[in-house]
């Protein structure tokens, strides 16, 4: 499998079969909290990064390999921004032909100002875009977007999409301590959310390895402040627990690499997963990953995380200070 992975436990979507339409790390944002590393360079071109029919064939194979109840959602969630794949609309329609399972798209939402992108996503059952800032200045600091992916276009696209869309619009706010968790920053976010009128707002914390070493999740006070200011449509999304599916690959090492390319795993999480699939082989698989050159270990939040080798994470000692922040 090159383009399909899992099912993996999802914080919001239960057992999610992932579809990855783009190479690591193809994105028009460079978020300070990103679990997939830095975007080098930023990319804002829509094209078919992988053959659509090859992606669809893997989806069909994966669906056939899993019994009823083993998958809750089919989720387009790329190694970057999935809407950069020009045929994502075609893929959503074809997957709809294959299964009655609901389809979600996890996106930064930056391209929703384009009518063709809104049309592409219109048949999905849930769209999960991001809104981490309520001003253009803070947006540039937190999400560090491509110059063409402006804050005005982000907000415009989210409003237009919600006006047209028949499915569920669930907006994610990632709370970073000292950046967007102050009273003023949250009031600005709430004001923009008031214009968009999403169905739900999911408040997340960067518990997976953030690319920048100085990034910390908001503390309890910041979390409570966000709930109070954003209001009744806000819900805190806690880290997912559950088993990762490592089937469908020639060997366990390749299965792990497929997961961690899109979903970095902590040392404990990886060891538990391997113990379920290959009791007695955990240390051998870990050693093989180290020597294969396909994986790397990154330390964040005093934890060891396994991440795909091509992902770029700056060295700890070279990345100790944060940029100036807004909304204090």
Q: Where are the domains of the chain?
A: 4-318
Q: Which residue has the higher pLDDT, 281 or 149?
A: 149
User: What confidence score (pLDDT) does residue 316 get?
Assistant: 55
Q: What is the DSSP letter of 100?
A: -
Computed over every residue of the chain, the mean pLDDT equals 92
Report the alpha-carbon angle 165-170-171, nearest 5: 110
Asked if pLDDT for residue 39 goes beyond 80, the answer is yes
Q: Give the predicted TM-score (pTM) of the model.
A: 0.91
Per-residue pLDDT, averaged over 190-194, amounts to 98
Task: Just give the CATH number of 4-318.
Answer: 3.20.20.70
Q: Which helix (H) or strand (E) holds 303?
A: strand 303-308
Q: State the helix-helix crossing angle for 52-65 and 88-98, rounded to 10 degrees.
A: 30
Can you tell me the distance from the alpha carbon of 126 to that of 121, in angstroms, rounded to the nearest whole number?
Answer: 9
User: What confidence score (pLDDT) does residue 326 get?
Assistant: 46
Other Cβ atoms within 10 Å of 228 Cβ, number: 12
Q: Out of 68-72, 101-105, 183-187, 251-255, which region has the weakest mean confidence (pLDDT)?
A: 251-255
The tokens describing 288, both together, are 């093989």
Can you tell me the distance from the alpha carbon of 30 to that of 136, in angstroms, rounded to the nearest whole number?
Answer: 15
Asked if pLDDT for residue 125 goes beyond 70, the answer is yes
């Amino acid at each position: 499998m090159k383009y399909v992975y899992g099912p993996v436990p999802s914080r919001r979507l239960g057992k999610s079969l992932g579809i990855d339409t783009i190479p690591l790390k193809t994105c028009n944002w460079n978020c300070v909290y990103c679990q997939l590393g830095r975007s080098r360079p930023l990319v804002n071109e829509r094209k078919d990064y992988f053959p659509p029919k090859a992606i669809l064939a893997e989806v069909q194979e994966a669906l056939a390999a899993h019994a009823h109840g083993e998958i809750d959602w089919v989720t387009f969630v790329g190694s970057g921004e999935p809407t950069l794949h020009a045929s994502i609309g075609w893929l959503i329609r074809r997957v709809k032909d294959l299964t009655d399972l609901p389809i979600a798209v996890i996106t930064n939402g930056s391209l929703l100002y384009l009518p063709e992108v809104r049309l592409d996503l219109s048949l999905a059952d849930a769209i999960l875009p991001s809104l981490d800032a309520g001003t253009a200045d803070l947006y540039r600091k937190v999400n560090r977007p491509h110059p063409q992916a402006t804050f005005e276009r982000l907000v415009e696209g989210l409003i237009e999409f919600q006006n047209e869309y028949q499915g569920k619009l669930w907006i994610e706010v990632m709370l970073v301590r000292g950046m967007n968790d102050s009273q003023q920053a949250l009031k600005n976010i709430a004001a923009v959310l008031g214009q968009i009128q999403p169905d739900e707002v999911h408040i997340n914390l960067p518990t997976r390895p953030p690319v920048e070493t100085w990034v910390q999740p908001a503390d309890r006070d910041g979390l409570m402040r966000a709930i109070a200011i954003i209001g009744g449509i806000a819900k805190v999304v806690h880290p997912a627990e559950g088993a990762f599916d490592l089937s469908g690959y020639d060997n366990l090492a390749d299965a792990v690499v497929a997961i961690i390319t899109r979903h970095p795993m902590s040392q404990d999480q990886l060891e538990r997963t391997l113990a379920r699939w290959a009791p007695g082989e955990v240390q051998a698989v870990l050693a093989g990953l180290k020597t294969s050159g396909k994986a790397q270990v990154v330390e964040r939040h005093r934890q060891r995380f396994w991440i795909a080798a091509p992902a770029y994470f700056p060295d700890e000692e070279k990345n100790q200070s944060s940029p100036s922040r807004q909304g204090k």
